[in-house]
Amino acid sequence: MQKFLNIKGDADTNFEGNQLVAIEGIKTVRAATATATATVIAYNDSTTTTITTAAQTAFNIQVEVQAAIKAALETSWTNPVYDVTLTLTPTNVVNA
């Protein structure tokens, strides 16, 4: 069964406040630098999901997303959606 992270935050012009992000097919989760504003989830099919926040501290958003993926996968298959509230509120979540 497909699992999803439900990225939660405050509604914004570019972010409605909740965004489902697929876990299946994730290849990597990365931020370009320790203080990057974008955390990129790359998938096996070459698509990406970019979570934009204020500047990270020591890759904290990347680490939180990775921990949330692990926690979601450890839940029962009857719980396909795992709520995630990041330390820094997302300003945008884009799948491309």
**Tens digits of per-residue pLDDT, 59-85?**
999 999 999 999 999 999 999 999 999
Q: Give residues with Cβ within 8 angstroms of 81, minimum separation 6.
A: 3, 4, 5, 6, 20
Torsion angle in degrees (nearest 10) through CA of 60, 63, 69, 73 = -130
Q: What is the pLDDT of residues 24-66, one digit of tens each?
A: 999 999 999 999 999 999 999 999 999 999 999 999 999 999 9
Beta carbons within 10 angstroms of residue 63's beta carbon: 15
- pLDDT band of residue 13 (cuts 50, 70, 90) is low
The confidence score (pLDDT) of residue 44 equals 97
Phi, psi of 6 (to 5 degrees): -105, 95
Domain count, the chain: 1
Contact 5, 21 (CB under 8 A): yes
Tell me the pTM: 0.92
